[in-house]
Chains A and B, each alone.
Chain A
């Protein structure tokens, strides 16, 4: 199969959705400029022109409301933010309006609205350009949150979002943008709420999302040399959260490590751990381990960034902890150490 970069898959999904459905249009700060959100909106700009792809003022709150209004009147806006941190300006519109309009109206109205936002990391982007805020949105009934890890899912989940008659927030990790993978040429629709088993194993399950899927695969590869067979699950969506697939794996392995790109406390990892504890308590042979960000804001200096972000080594250590295997953490290089694709500045 043909290979595409993650960002190219997003661009293709956008163009295919717009070609199939004239209700879809793209708006956001900088979407039609020469860079086109790292190239993800450039193709749509060139193909569909200024009536369907247009720049906006830096008024994230109002533009989210504007998108809701357009959705209520039969269009399907794709609202794009270069950082998910900017969504904090839009929480009233997202939480009080987009998530609730269908319910508050007794089902007489729906809000087909897709929001893309990027999770930043590294190169000193510090506390307000690097957050991973999926838990904030996933907490709210009425919002869907998807977190694709592969180019194939970046395309399939965005196409699904753009055909869903409800608000969907797509969180894309900046470090995935240059990763390549097989992507089918035709439009296809990856269902929301279906995790994928991306590596088979029998000893320990690692459930991960977004960039942490790559870290988990690296850890699994490293431990395979010690005959530790790790099963890796890509959660793909934070809400709906597919705990069934995770429980089916835990029934086999009895051990679970959850790897989240967000903070440890009150996050998606906590929700998944709670569900596993309830739904397959009898299958667990060790406490659930979590690999997530420490509960502090992101520092700027690379010296502290290195200490802040967990990676394959920490996942490996957590796997060992579930197996009660003492020893050094496996020498698993993290995505950062392996790849030099991301060199900033943004």
Chain B
């Protein structure tokens, strides 16, 4: 793979920073009780969303699950409209009717998210089927977690995508836990990807905290899909820093250890990429701080926008239903 241009490398950093700062703003604002919906944060997992979406073009589409902020933002969703959605406002990306678990931005290719684990995996396959039937070279991506492979519908989807060689990339974001339950209590193997291989599609495992590794795997999978060579399964190993749902850390619950969390925080995907950029001279520490300030201003603006926006009128309750 040819080396990435410095501007692309910086874009990776900005994208990850935007997700991180946005979710830190949620953490900060949550106690105000104005964000009144369950939020599942992906702090620590940003490299997966960014590495994958940076390999996509604008007309490609993604689908996601309950932990969807990162995918929405990485696929170009508006930060203002995301915060407005979290605040339940009429200006939200779903008019306040979806909330944190159902972010959507069809105009940028984010087709939505289901709060039922793996619920959108077949939908991504269907988007790929539509591309194949219409003869377009659009690619679709299904984002799901390690528990997603425990759902029957995922296996059905993998098998059908392989059978028809559909242009879809399955991205399993393995963060090792389903709520409080570790992978070892739910699955025989610590690796998810071999189960895709059993269905007849290539499976790969990548370091999900290394945005460049994720990008490289994604670029390869997307090129395969676009060329008509069929689906690919990418398992990105990563880690959720905070509780399953909500803004807090939760090591005190005892289902994981502080040492484990510390080890994963030491592999912070954002700092790791920043160090690479600094060492290679792409981005100095001062330039990075300036970029951080810009993103922080953008997030602050989005929060202001959300707070200042109106709630939907009561009549909206009955709109948008067939």
Q: CB distance A64 to B127 under 8 Å?
A: no
Which of B128, B133, B159 contacts A59 (CB under 8 A)? B159
Q: Among A57, A92, A108, which residue has its beta carbon within 8 angstroms of that of B94? A: A108
Of A94-102, A279-287, A311-319, A321-329, the segment with at least 4 beta carbons within 8 Å of chain B is: A94-102
Chain A residues with CB under 8 Å of B104's CB are 104-106, 108-109
B190 within 8 A of A: no
Q: Which residues of B contact A106 (CB under 8 A)?
A: 92-98, 104, 320
Closest residue on chain A to residue B317 by CB atoms: A103
Interface size on B, residues (CB 8 A): 46
Are the CB atoms of A103 and B123 closer together than 8 Å? no
Q: Which residue of A lies closest to B154 (CB)?
A: A62
The residues of A that contact B5 with a CB separation of less than 8 Å are none
Cross-chain contact B321 with A105 (CB below 8 angstroms): no
The verdict on B111 contacting chain A, using a C-beta distance below 8 Å, is yes
B119 within 8 Å of A (CB atoms) = yes
B160 at the A interface (CB under 8 A) = yes
Q: Which of B119, B127, B157, B322 meets A102, CB within 8 Å? A: B322
- B265 within 8 Å of A by Cβ? no
Whether a CB of chain A sits under 8 angstroms from the CB of B213 is no
- Give the interface centre of A56, A73, A77 by most chain B CB atoms within 10 Å: A73
Decide if B198 is an interface residue (CB 8 Å cutoff): no
**A106 CA to B97 CA, complexed, in Å:** 6
Bound-state Cα–Cα, A59 to B126, Å: 13
Known interface pairs A57-B159, A106-B92; A97-B114 also in contact (CB < 8 Å): yes
Q: Does B102 lie at the interface of the complex (its beta carbon under 8 Å from any beta carbon of A)?
A: yes
A166 adjacent to chain B (CB < 8 Å): yes
Q: Which of A69, A141, A144: most chain B Cβ within 10 A?
A: A69
Q: Are A65 and B122 in contact (CB-based, < 8 A)?
A: yes
* Shortest beta-carbon distance from B128 to chain A in Å: 7
Q: CA A108 – CA B93 in complex, angstroms? A: 9
Hey, which chain B residues are within 8 Å of A77, CB to CB? 126
Find residues 130-158 in chain B having any chain A CB closer than 8 Å to their own CB.
130-131, 133-134, 138, 140, 152-153, 156-157
Q: Does B35 contact A (CB under 8 A)?
A: no
Residue contact A64 to B93, C-beta cutoff 8 Å: no
Asked whether B122 lies within 8 Å of A93 as measured between CB atoms, the reply is: yes
> Which of A75, A93, A105 counts the most chain B CB atoms within 10 A?
A105
Q: B201 near A: Cβ within 8 Å?
A: no
A69 & B128 in contact (Cβ 8 Å cutoff): yes
Contact assessment for B159 and A73 in the assembled complex, using a CB-CB cutoff below 8 Å: no
Question: Is A61 at the interface (CB under 8 A from chain B)?
Answer: yes
Residue of B nearest to A239 (CB): B322
Instruction: List 3 tightest A-B contacts by C-beta distance, closest first.
Output: A69-B126, A65-B122, A106-B95
**B residues within 8 Å of A by Cβ?**
61, 63, 92-98, 102, 104, 106-107, 111-112, 114-116, 119-131, 133-134, 138, 140, 152-153, 156-157, 159-160, 163, 319-322
Listed by A's residue number, 10 A-B pairs whose Cβ atoms lie within 8 Å are A51-B133, A61-B152, A62-B121, A62-B153, A69-B123, A69-B140, A93-B153, A103-B320, A104-B98, A108-B104
